[in-house]
Amino acid sequence: MEIDKFSNYPFLTRTVQYVADMGTPVDNILTSRSFDITRYRARSRVLQAIHGDIQHDDTVNFTVELLSYAVARIMVSCLKDAFLTRRYSLAEAKYAYHMMKQENNEVLQEIGEDLHIVASVTESGLFYLHFTDYIRGAVRLRSIQWKLVNRILNSGYVSITKEEYARLLQEAVRSRIIDALPLNVPDEFCQALEKYLLEIKASVDISRTEFDEAGFGNVESEHFPPCIVHLISNAQGGINLAHSARFALTSFLLNIGMSVDQVVSLFNVSPDFNEEKTRYQVEHISGSTGTAYKPPSCTTLITYGNCYGKDKLCETIRHPLNYYKRKKKTGSAK
């Protein structure tokens, strides 16, 4: 891989070593006026990650783009916010995916080797990888197409398209970034970035409240059971929910009065979000095509590992809808 591509893939081992060899003191990057543009680009990366996708900036040079990734990770680490960490990691991975789709096969293979998802390329242009590498990359991808049972195995190897290989690498990038955060950042580094951190924190708070205020409509989210709060947090943090968890969350929200549009919007930050497919699934659960589904009971939630953060009220009820109704009734009586 040519050096000029390093800024597109700052998470790679070679890129990290290249930055280290530059020998630029971190405190200089965080305080010197000569690095103002670097800090501003880092700020932009994080803010864009909170609200959507990181955008390529043609106005910054190679060094600024390269160092801004390091500064952005410091900013995220200073705030120690799990929601922000998940959003940022996903956005950086999606940004890399956009770049990887445009690369030639050799560069993509080099990235795959660094991420331990090794592939060879067949004469037909398909990527050929061992099923263990495939599983490692696809383990968190919930769409049915990624299940190994739906792939053709040939002597232990799976063939996938270039775009699918890039998608596996995207998930590996997300895992590499999120697993390394938060960094152990000295207090003085965070103090040097205080003005940026205040802006980022405010943006995180706004992002959290936007869905509460607009997304839930007349639904009273403060009365949600702990399991639903946990699933919403994961969904809004860009985590792919297992099918059982997605069904539990969707059916619960529909049964307490949320519209199909509101529920669909909840999932729009998922890594594999497909609005048409999501809308079809939500409409199906709502009963528009036949039977309306009730959310699973607490016993079923426990069976599928979707029961989280039990509180005292949980001990007295057997269904998440009863929790919501009980909480609403108690709240109205106050």
Q: pLDDT digit string (tens) for 218-273?
A: 567 889 999 999 999 888 877 888 899 999 999 999 999 888 988 988 888 777 77
What interhelical angle do 162-179 and 105-114 show, nearest 10? 30
pLDDT bin (cut points 50, 70, 90) of residue 212 is: low
* 201 falls within a domain: no
* 209 falls within a domain: no
Q: pLDDT digit string (tens) for 281-333?
A: 999 999 887 788 999 999 999 999 999 999 999 999 999 999 999 988 886 54
Could you tell me if 274 and 310 lie in one domain? yes
* 207 falls within a domain: no
Could you tell me if 283 and 169 lie in one domain? no
Cβ neighbours, 10 Å, residue 22: 10
- Whether 334 has a pLDDT exceeding 50, the answer reads no
* CB 225, CB 242: distance < 8 Å: no
Could you tell me if 317 and 220 lie in one domain? yes
Owning domain of residue 165: 3-192
- Residue 182: cis peptide before it, omega within 30 degrees of 0: yes
Mean pLDDT of the chain: 91
DSSP string, 226-278: HHHHHHHHHHHTTPPPPHHHHHHHHHHHHHTT--HHHHHHHTTTSTT--HHHH
Q: pLDDT digit string (tens) for 185-211?
A: 999 999 999 999 999 999 998 887 665
Could you tell me if 178 and 327 lie in one domain? no
Which has more pLDDT, 142 or 126? 126
pLDDT bin (cut points 50, 70, 90) of residue 214 is: very low
Looking at residue 140, its pLDDT comes to 81
Looking at residue 43, its pLDDT comes to 98
Could you tell me if 12 and 159 lie in one domain? yes
Integer Cα distance of 126 and 112 in angstroms = 14
